[in-house]
Structure 1
């Protein structure tokens, strides 16, 4: 074997070893979150170095175990040499179990009277639960006679300073957002328990349910929906105050009404609280566990990332609107994310939309995050495709 061949072989072996390491890192974080000490111990017996594995927010398995109070898992990790003083991205250690910012973020008190709501104004007489999470629930209620969505923190957690801190951070974020394609914040209850965040209630439900019922959308509808999502995301991504959603998926895109003629991007409140407080790759709401299917490869691999993770997720949503099925629907969510991180992408089957739309989707889910277009560029390309479809539309009825 030549020296060059030997070097190439060594490089391939190193890459394979690194890939396996990433997979085991995901597994130990997952099993820790699931409170499975047996699985955690088995992984540590195979590779003791996993005890101090890090996710993309620099959190170790011990951070996750400490947060949830998983005593047996924590004991196992410490037995195998876990660093109890390891610090995550926010400078917190596994001892305090926090995944939150170290400095409390309080709402802008100067204008607090503009949005602080007296809970007696909220009518829960005919309320019904829209969704549940580890830290609270989303309820449809009435405020001053108007239907609203109320994200209510569990009373038992209303004294947890980290939960309160994250809740106030969400309020501070939402109070500044004003855009037709972003779910509108209306107010919050911060001075009494339970803590509540109030947003407009959108009667059309979410895009996930819409696609489940209707299947593939016609290209014109898909483009109009994509434009609405891209407009909202372009607003969030505008510098200098860039907001990265990090969990863009059909469930977090809401239809304004039953006619489904207008979309808004939502879930900056409770969903973000859940994601931050739990392991990075686990997101649990009613009827769904995990955001893996729409997760960018760099997030799955625990690498540094930027706002283009939202562009990748957008591509997966666009694919689902055009094809009718979730991306990589033949795989379980975790396996889908793992396969996508390895380079696999969904297969296009429908013939009813333009090659330009397919090219845009492929551009948005590029493995190299630096090659993905911005949402402003996406908007321009979608408008161009829409104009072209308008001139060619009379031919569409003759094509399959």
Structure 2
């Protein structure tokens, strides 16, 4: 038997529906409303009784009862005193079938109550994901961004007008998470938080955290933050555009690099990471350092990028993920063992990742290239590390020892990036000096050969001149 709605108390005014969950923006919202006949304030006129019953059945989730009322002429867009409709109520309660039926029978998806809340906003507030998908399918749009502020004075300084971003000639870059655009005449990389992710609290929190970090950092070896869109949807982060792409693409094209070049690039990475780790008052852990998240500028120098998994160490020296980490694609190959085991970790996880990147640049292949991604954690647990197959001369001057120390099983045994920079600089100088000695004998030979040719030409010219004078 279908539930019966309470009868309106009088015929004086449009009723206010108080049953169940209230508007997401209502100031007096506090969970469940009252129940029974007393829950309807005022009454409906004769032609509104049926519509009031529609709202009650939407609260009860009665698909058949609603269909019967709609067939009998009930108005699917009837609004109570607060401007709320049956669709608002069904969206609050999470009745996906009721929402679908009301929309099919002419209910307005974007209708606003007196506080400006839409059925979609209500569904988002109460985290009714099935209802959200249905409303979006019927064209409902997110009106208010999760970071929207009402007071114009609270709008952040970095806010960018989305109308200034031109995507007409853009394309996906950096694993599809960024898209190229033009902003005020310059190319930029734009990261979007799509509408379907706005309802995911974890995604929104990660977006906020990334913004918090990007506002704080400025360094030649860290990609530059230009601004963000937070007051409208979709929310976006705008970064400088790196024309030469990422290190992953570069390594795929070049293969194994000369040690001198690999050390030069490693110094760029180490300088950027040292800046992050020594940032005050909070050190910044990248936690996802791998070639795809390292970009190349016009001069070929490297910049650390992509901070959506980064952590700031505030009063704690270590952090821990709320749930086990799942790294997409090859990212797991660069993750430290303590991260894969979901243990507490600190800045030394980035040192571990750095070691694998440096070795890859010299070896010319992925870490653990002979293993599948799901075998990496087992390799870490058995303390296995990628083999050194390149000639020993490619790891001269202590380079191999540095790599092995950086990927030590015990994080405390790994050096910090300040030490790494000093050791890499010394190695780079040793390599450069060795290369100069290789070039010097050749230059000496070329110089002697040039002098010999010059003397030979001058002697030939002198003899020719004497012969000419003797004829006269």
Give the TM-score, by structure 1 length.
0.65
Alignment of 1:361-400 (within 5 A): 361-394=403-436
Q: Report matched runs for 1:36-185 at 5 Å.
A: 112-131=155-174, 137-185=177-225
Q: Which moved more, 1:122-131 or 1:109-118?
A: 109-118
Partners of 2:275 and 2:179 lie apart in 1 by 27
Question: Alpha-carbon deviation of 1:254?
Answer: 0.6
Give the whole-Å Cα distance in 2 for the aligned partners of 1:154 and 1:277.
24
Secondary structure of the equivalent of 2:190?
strand
Query: Is the radius of gyration larger for structure 1 or structure 2?
Result: 2
Q: Which residue of 2 aligns with 1:331?
A: 371
- Residue deviations 1:111-154 (CA, integer Å, cap 9, x gap): 85531000000001011011457xxx310111111111000011
SS of equivalent residue, structure 1 residue 152? strand
Partner of 2:288: 247
CA drift at 1:162: 4.0
User: Given that residues 185 and 200 in structure 1 are in contact (C-alpha distance below 8 angstroms), is that contact kept between their aligned partners in structure 2?
Assistant: yes
| Equivalent residue, structure 2, for 1:14 | none
The number of equivalent residue pairs is: 284
Change (3 A) 1:178 1:112: farther
Name the structure 2 match of 1:281.
Answer: 325
| TM-fit CA distance, 1:170 | 1.3
Conserved? CA contact 1:123–1:141, under 8 Å = yes
State how far apart, in whole Å, the 1-side matches of 2:283 and 2:371 are: 33
Deviation at 1:241, TM superposition (A): 1.1
CA RMSD of aligned residues (A): 2.9
The yes-or-no answer on 1:347 pairing with 2:395 is no
Whether 1:265 aligns to 2:304 is yes
Equivalence for 2:239: 199
Whole-angstrom CA distance in 2 between matches of 1:363 and 1:157: 40
Q: Is 1:311 aligned to 2:351, yes or no?
A: yes
Contact 2:348 2:411 in 1 (8 A): yes
Structure 1 portions without partners, runs of 5+? 1-95, 97-103
Instruction: Rate the CA distance shift 1:207–1:337 in 2: closer, same or farther, 3 A.
Output: farther
| CA distances 1:12-67 after superposition (whole Å, capped 9, x unpaired) | xxxxxxxxxxxxxxxxxxxxxxxxxxxxxxxxxxxxxxxxxxxxxxxxxxxxxxxx
Distance 1:327 1:308 in 2: 18
In the other structure, the counterpart of 2:333 is 293
- What SS does the corresponding residue of 2:231 show, helix, strand or coil? coil
Deviation at 1:248, TM superposition (A): 0.4
Q: Are the structure 2 counterparts of residues 148 and 282 from structure 1 closer, same or farther at C-alpha, using a change threshold of 3 Å?
A: same
Q: Distance in 2 between matches of 1:143 and 1:277?
A: 36
Deviation (angstroms), 1:164: 2.7
Secondary structure at the aligned position of 1:291 is classed as helix
CA distance in 1 between counterparts of 2:216 and 2:375 reads 37
| 2-structure distance, mates of 1:195, 1:272 | 19
8 Å CA contact 2:222–2:303 kept in 1: the answer is yes
Structure 1 residues 297-350: Cα deviation after superposition (integer angstroms, max 9, x where no partner):
122222222110100000000000111111111111231332023111111122
State how far apart, in whole Å, the 1-side matches of 2:190 and 2:256 are.
31
Corresponding residue number in structure 1 for 2:469: none
> Deviations for 1:183-233, whole angstroms, at most 9, x for unmatched residues?
110000000100000000101111111111100111111111000000000
> How far does residue 283 in structure 1 lie from its aligned partner after superposition?
3.2
**Shift of the alpha carbon at 1:173?**
1.2
Per the alignment, in what secondary structure is the counterpart of residue 125 of structure 1?
coil
Q: Any conservation in 1 of the 2:147–2:231 contact (CA below 8 Å)?
A: no
| CA shift digits 1:63-95 (9 cap, x unpaired) | xxxxxxxxxxxxxxxxxxxxxxxxxxxxxxxxx
1:106 and 1:172 in contact (8 A); partners too: no
Q: Which residue of 2 aligns with 1:237?
A: 277
Residues 110-119 or 322-331, more deviating: 110-119
1:359 is aligned, of 387, 391, 401, to 401
Match of 1:320 in 2: 360
Q: 1:396 Cα deviation (Å)?
A: 6.3
Change over 3 Å in CA distance of 1:240–1:396 after alignment to 2: farther
Classify the secondary structure of the residue corresponding to 2:409. Answer: coil
**Could you say which residue in structure 2 is the equivalent of 1:256?**
297
- Asked if the contact 1:106–1:165 (Cα under 8 Å) also holds between the matched residues in 2, the reply is no
* Distance in 2 separating the partners of 1:299 and 1:174: 23
Question: Does 1 or 2 have the higher relative contact order (CA < 8 Å, sep 6+)?
Answer: 1
1:105–1:113: structure 2 CA closer, same or farther, 3 Å change rule?
A: closer
TM-score, normalization by structure 2: 0.56
Structure 2 unaligned spans of 5+: 1-126, 128-145, 312-319, 440-472
Task: Measure how far apart 1:105 and its partner are.
Answer: 9.5
- The alpha carbon displacement at 1:169 in A equals 2.0
Structure 2 residue matching 1:127: 3-state secondary structure: coil
